[in-house]
Structure 1
Amino acid sequence: MTHLQTNDLEEVQSVVAGIYCAHSVLTSGGASADAAGLDLIRRAPQPVVKLHYGRSVRIDAGTFPRLMLMQTCLDGSGAAEQGSLRAELRRGQTVPLSPGLATRLAFDSRFAQQSVRLDIERVEALCSSWLNVPALDRPLRFDLNPFSAALEQAWSQAVGLIVSYARSGLLLPASAIANLDEFIVSLVLSQHPHNYSDDLRRPQKGLPPRLVREAERLMRDGELHQTPSKIAAELGVSLRTLELGFRAVHDCSPSEFLRRVRVAKARETLLAPKATTSVTEVALANGFLHLARFSAYYREVFGESPVHTLRRSQPRGTLAMAVG
């Protein structure tokens, strides 16, 4: 985690350019006494940054090369222009900025932002997977409008989880990171309009039952960092085809089925624990970052909390390790 607090605007500009892209910054309305501040909360795979300039600024970011940014206004107000389109930025709103467009930003002196840089290759690969095509035939671009209220709430919770883990310094298992990053990408791709939204809404046929069974095998026997999109890619089908197949056979989504598989694997570990086994360790190892939700899922399936399972399975003298 990188923290910067300074009155040197050029220093902030240099750090921001290293994270995002080269840009020019002009102050307007006179300089403010407030220092600029930047926190690089998470570096990779999709950086999270908190930033305020402490003064009114106008920014020219050129064509936003290879930069897909979800920008949330935490305080103050501003505006974003991409090409001929413009969006106002208000507190508690997130606006997606897409690559390859002439981009200009204007922030008032109180403006503070928290932004997530999405991995463009990851977003476009997921979109092409949903469409069942090898690659997109044009760059993916989101509508320059604030998120809906429902998406804003889900986005805020997901990014809040990322921030809390980044600040804790906890080293997450690959399965947990893969699930969290795919979730935030799929959240925006499925819930905010973009230039492929109409294509994604077109009817598709579901997966044949034999391939649903093969997908189930991959979920049960594959690596823990498997995600529905990776399974769809391995089967050579779109994620929507996989979804339709699972709904026809199991009346649930692939994500819900995979969650059941992981809850079952977690139970296997809790029923045969080591002396140092903890619920937190087991949850994270199986791709669950939100411990309260893991406990709720577990109780729903097995009728008891994971802590209870571990306590009655734990060797004598090690009960104190159950929750940690």
Structure 2
Amino acid sequence: MSHVLTSAPTFDDWEGVHDAVAQAYFPHSMRPLSRGPAGLSEVGVVDLGPCRVTRMSLGATVRVQTDHPGAWAVNIAESGRLEHRIAGTTVVSDAERATVCPPDTPMKLPSWDPSCTLVGFRVDEEFLRREYERVLARRPHPLPRQLDLRSDTGHDWLAWITSALDRATSDSPGLLADPRMQRQLGELLVTGLLLTSAPEEPAGARGTRPRIVRRVVAAIEDDPARPWTPSELAELAGVSVRRLQQGFREYVGRSPFQYLHEVRLDRAHHDLVHAQDATTVTEVAIRWGLSHTGRFAADYRHRFGQSPSTTLNS
């Protein structure tokens, strides 16, 4: 674990402030909006490997742009208020609401002023995906854009975040100086984030999924672009089409083909985010068996909050 805490770091220019913020949290572009010397009033960092906690406040007002490469960010305005613009949507952070910023997605802070102390939680995209499956025992879904920190789980999670930051950056971090504790702390904070943010599954889906459902889920995940038919999936499970439908409704909360469609949308989203210059939306849609482009665009917008072309061109 590495950590830094200084009460009033000083820099000769904004380049120094920019580099300190980038090292503490994410690469970004920064533009000062108010006059006065460059200043960073506070910076504290707890590096836990695949996740990180930071606290920062500035000495002047700035505009920040980033796309959070390869990691999720959860931003909390510990004091003041912080407006985010994420892929065309405005989301506000304050002491009661955290903003969740997805990886590889354009985000702008139009005006981060000295009244706002930012507490940020960063977690690598791949680590969060694995923990989602491990903790919640289901396929990952996109996190909501905002967390309610007034709820019992949200309040507890924020308390753990700030307590870990305060303790680890103190003169006597104690047990948190041990790498084994650091690893456990990182997993604890990610588990808390998931329990706070992830939607509940239907009650019937919380039990152990039967073999017939697990088989079909695995086959869909392995080859979602395949033109599956109801009879093929039922044959794979060794039951009737009607029994397979009942099993999915009971243990997954949706039909096999609704589940298949969601997997295809998620794969298309990943490809659009990481697309090369020559890629088109139609190519990606067809690649994952989403041949009805009009329906694909509507379903994609409903699931991810923006059009496929916006994702591709971001």
Query: What is the TM-score with the length of structure 1 in the denominator?
Result: 0.53
Structure 2: which amino acid aligns with 1:2? V
- 1:67 to 2:68 alignment: no
Specify whether residues 116 and 200 from structure 1 end up closer, same or farther in structure 2 by C-alpha distance, changes over 3 A only. Answer: farther
- Show the 5 A alignment for 1:186-265: 186-193=191-198, 197=199, 203-206=205-208
- Show the 5 A alignment for 1:7-18: 7=11, 8-18=13-23
- 1:123 to 2:128 alignment: yes
* SS of the residue 2:146 aligns to: coil
* Counterpart for residue 35 of structure 2: 31
* Counterpart for residue 88 of structure 2: 84
Residue 85 of structure 1: CA displacement? 1.8
Asked if the contact 1:2/1:41 (under 8 Å) is kept, the reply is yes
Q: CA RMSD in A?
A: 3.0
Asked if the contact 1:42/1:48 (under 8 Å) is kept, the reply is yes
- 1:185 to 2:190 alignment: yes
Specify whether residues 190 and 201 from structure 1 end up closer, same or farther in structure 2 by C-alpha distance, changes over 3 A only. Answer: farther
Gaps spanning 5+ residues in structure 1: where? 209-240, 242-324
- 1:40 to 2:41 alignment: no
* SS of the residue 2:104 aligns to: coil
Asked if the contact 2:75/2:121 (under 8 Å) is kept, the reply is yes
Residue 53 of structure 1: CA displacement? 1.8
* Counterpart for residue 158 of structure 1: 160
- 1:2 to 2:4 alignment: yes
Structure 2: which amino acid aligns with 1:147? D
* Counterpart for residue 53 of structure 1: 58
Q: Number of aligned pairs?
A: 200
- 1:169 to 2:173 alignment: yes
Q: 1:107 aligns with which of 98, 106, 112?
A: 112
Residue 160 of structure 1: CA displacement? 2.9
* Partners of 1:90 and 1:55 in 2: CA distance: 19
* Partners of 1:200 and 1:177 in 2: CA distance: 34
Residue 73 of structure 1: CA displacement? 0.7
Specify whether residues 48 and 200 from structure 1 end up closer, same or farther in structure 2 by C-alpha distance, changes over 3 A only. Answer: farther
* Partners of 1:60 and 1:128 in 2: CA distance: 31
Please list the CA deviations of residues 171-210 of structure 1 after superposition, one character each: whole Å capped at 9, or x if unmatched: 44565444432222122212214xxx366876143389xx
* Partners of 2:173 and 2:149 in 1: CA distance: 32
Gaps spanning 5+ residues in structure 2: where? 211-250, 252-314
Please list the CA deviations of residues 72-125 of structure 1 after superposition, one character each: whole Å capped at 9, or x if unmatched: 212222211111221112245422222121111131232211212123332210
* Counterpart for residue 144 of structure 2: 143
Asked if the contact 1:82/1:104 (under 8 Å) is kept, the reply is yes
* Partners of 2:202 and 2:62 in 1: CA distance: 38
Query: What is the TM-score with the length of structure 2 in the denominator?
Result: 0.55
Residue 131 of structure 1: CA displacement? 5.8
Percentage of pairs with the same residue: 16
Asked if the contact 2:40/2:57 (under 8 Å) is kept, the reply is yes
